[in-house]
Structure 1
């Protein structure tokens, strides 16, 4: 049920993260979910929310109506084809122009513009040169942290680092999704700027709605199987190789009826296909072909079944500012094994809702996975504790309420700023 009361207009800008596409597609992950869920939750509270993204394919609709209050608007920015985010910067001026054209054609001004990721942050900084509004920004990942965990730094790295610093120092408010992310900003980006901590959320009802037996029956999984689950993109920094090598170790391989399910990835021939091919090669080298299932890209409606069917969900990322998959699994009552990095230290309480282990350390992941598979009762206890934690801190409705309070505060500042300008003029 959507609230028809109009509390005001909000623009959520996510240049490369289209909120209307399924997770697991090219470079589609937590950011896409974050923007869509925040938008829909705010729409339900009576805000008019427009979510702006880049149009990638000619056959895509220019406008997708999610509800009476919420829509995705796809803007022209470069050729209508997939372009990796590390190569999008040159097309951002066209995105800004398209945004202004949309405003002019619809006679719309947005008092709140919330940008997501550094590319959108640059857009927000440019828009600020021409309009009076309150600029909110969420990083989703920090270049200063990410570039420490990769072997090849993209050519756009210096531009990204500069934009991220400028955003922190000049945006009206930065939303950090965890205390760890705030610490990274202060130690690696700038001591200036205004930061508020508002976590990501999840649909606690949807992920708790499926029981293990029915999920396994639907997915044709043996009731007695030991199921290890990964959900996410095929991206080297997601650490899938670490997981696969952990499953290949004796302490995990010893379990009977073992299954590794890898959910995510776009269609063959897409850019993330190279990473999938690399992972498939490692699976073959380790002799894991018979127990490994690549589920590919799945719909949002199918995802709860995969979580419910799992004995343990593994998040082996080299870096995560938050980690939506973690709280989705916890909301489903499934124990997690995650890298001891970034926001995962905030979402997972080690030894209470799951286990945190050193990133890139396959033996450590193998030991943690084995501990949970070897003690199903303890695994269920971890899962129940994780579910309670998510219900208390990470529901989308609760997150949206915190975001709404922030927006209301920023609108009050905007009104004072507007009237002060009028008085001076």
Structure 2
């Protein structure tokens, strides 16, 4: 890129610089950080804006040349549940505009992530006259179908999501399934491009299983089922635990269930972990179940490689980053047959798809893979190949860069025609 462009990546509630595995730190945080870094390598000047959630954290974190996270003060500098952050949206807009003015930066375009950021981006589009692109990461219209207690913020969220689709210059869907949901459940208006999420195929690699198990202290002949992610009811961890409880393999002394992910006592994820531990105890699975807590970026590839299967039992996932991390590591995923997981996981080729919340189906999937090591190995090899071909971060960033440049060109043409 001859003339470097300034990009504002907006992720109000998902801090790109935060330690992954903490509360409210999951796939979106990884997506924004990795996309930002890869785009910087390709010549963009990338500022990633988020809300300061800890007064002790630095306000600016430099990740690499031309890529940094900027934490704006919007509300208390403390953890705020996601559903309450929208209350501080106007503070965030004001702080962003002050930062831009003080630093004398003219952003060429913004790319917002999640509906709260989408509202913010629509303000920037209007106030700064810059193009706006948006990635949902999760659609309220889909999410609210799978839960009984609809939050008070639901109507606001649905309205903002509709405005984003109809008013943004382009929506970035992470799978064909997500695009279909937008068109059928949100609005028939709007421009949508499909660009998947990615993964670091050098970091998540086909490490030898025995090497991985030796490092982690796992027996060479163990039958290991692995989950990694937030403790949240929508992640379906209960389905996994009950599936293991029904599995034919549960009486095999080699079976190990590892449920990884951070949690904070008293917070929503800590409460959910307590509930899951209660179910483990109820099903008498305590001896085979381990909760290692937050797993470091350094160790995570070894957990994936050590596993016979990685289970992603979410009630809904617009993409499903864990699935491709596992697949990149040569481990098949047993995943819910929903959303983007239908795109990332190819049933009986790179893993197994099962209906969400279907304990019997997940149990059968676990049994199939654990009972057939040769098939499990073939699934893993197919999975690695699929990730190499479709889901590297550099490839994702190239597609996004091309889309940004096209959007800028289209915007310039529209302005020229309007003033002609």
Flag whether TM exceeds 0.5 (same fold): yes
Q: Which residue is 2:106 aligned to?
A: 109
Task: Identify if the C-alpha distance between structure 1 residues 419 and 172 changes in structure 2 by more than 3 Å, giving closer, same or farther.
Answer: same
Q: Could you tell me how far apart the structure 2 residues matched to 1:298 and 1:416 are?
A: 48
Return 21-30 or 86-95, whichever deviates more. Answer: 21-30
1:13-412 equivalences under 5 Å are 13-208=10-205, 210-412=207-409
Runs of 4+ aligned structure 1 residues displaced above 6 Å come to: none
Asked if structure 1 preserves the Cα contact closer than 8 Å seen for 2:247 and 2:364, the reply is no
Return 58-67 or 103-112, whichever deviates more. Answer: 103-112
For residue 6 of structure 1, report the CA deviation from its aligned partner.
5.5
Task: Identify if the C-alpha distance between structure 1 residues 280 and 260 changes in structure 2 by more than 3 Å, giving closer, same or farther.
Answer: same
Asked if structure 1 preserves the Cα contact closer than 8 Å seen for 2:206 and 2:330, the reply is no
Deviations 1:246-304 (A, max 9, x none): 01114231333111111112333333100000000000101111111111112212210
For residue 128 of structure 1, report the CA deviation from its aligned partner.
1.9
Q: Could you tell me how far apart the structure 1 residues matched to 2:306 and 2:217 are?
A: 10
Asked if structure 2 preserves the Cα contact closer than 8 Å seen for 1:202 and 1:395, the reply is yes
For residue 369 of structure 1, report the CA deviation from its aligned partner.
0.4
Q: Could you tell me how far apart the structure 1 residues matched to 2:304 and 2:253 are?
A: 20
Output the TM-score relative to the length of structure 2. 0.98
For residue 191 of structure 1, report the CA deviation from its aligned partner.
0.1
Deviations 1:322-341 (A, max 9, x none): 00000000000001100011
Asked if structure 1 preserves the Cα contact closer than 8 Å seen for 2:121 and 2:132, the reply is yes
Q: Could you tell me how far apart the structure 2 residues matched to 1:273 and 1:110 are?
A: 39
Instruction: For residue 277 of structure 2, give the secondary structure of its aligned residue in structure 1.
Output: helix
Q: Could you tell me how far apart the structure 2 residues matched to 1:95 and 1:151 are?
A: 31
Deviations 1:333-352 (A, max 9, x none): 00110001111000011000
Unpaired runs of 5+ in structure 2?
none
Task: Identify if the C-alpha distance between structure 1 residues 286 and 210 changes in structure 2 by more than 3 Å, giving closer, same or farther.
Answer: same
Task: Identify if the C-alpha distance between structure 1 residues 227 and 394 changes in structure 2 by more than 3 Å, giving closer, same or farther.
Answer: same
For residue 418 of structure 1, report the CA deviation from its aligned partner.
4.3
- How many pairs align? 420
Deviations 1:334-385 (A, max 9, x none): 0110001111000011000000011101111000000000001100000000
Asked if structure 2 preserves the Cα contact closer than 8 Å seen for 1:14 and 1:51, the reply is yes
Unpaired runs of 5+ in structure 1?
none
Asked if structure 2 preserves the Cα contact closer than 8 Å seen for 1:6 and 1:48, the reply is no
Instruction: For residue 193 of structure 1, give the secondary structure of its aligned residue in structure 2.
Output: coil
Asked if structure 2 preserves the Cα contact closer than 8 Å seen for 1:262 and 1:293, the reply is yes
Asked if structure 2 preserves the Cα contact closer than 8 Å seen for 1:54 and 1:77, the reply is yes
Q: Could you tell me how far apart the structure 1 residues matched to 2:287 and 2:100 are?
A: 54
Q: Could you tell me how far apart the structure 2 residues matched to 1:130 and 1:147 are?
A: 32
For residue 420 of structure 1, report the CA deviation from its aligned partner.
4.6
Q: Which residue is 2:412 aligned to?
A: 415
Asked if structure 1 preserves the Cα contact closer than 8 Å seen for 2:247 and 2:366, the reply is no
Instruction: For residue 244 of structure 1, give the secondary structure of its aligned residue in structure 2.
Output: helix
Deviations 1:199-255 (A, max 9, x none): 000011111153212211111111111000001100100000000000111423133
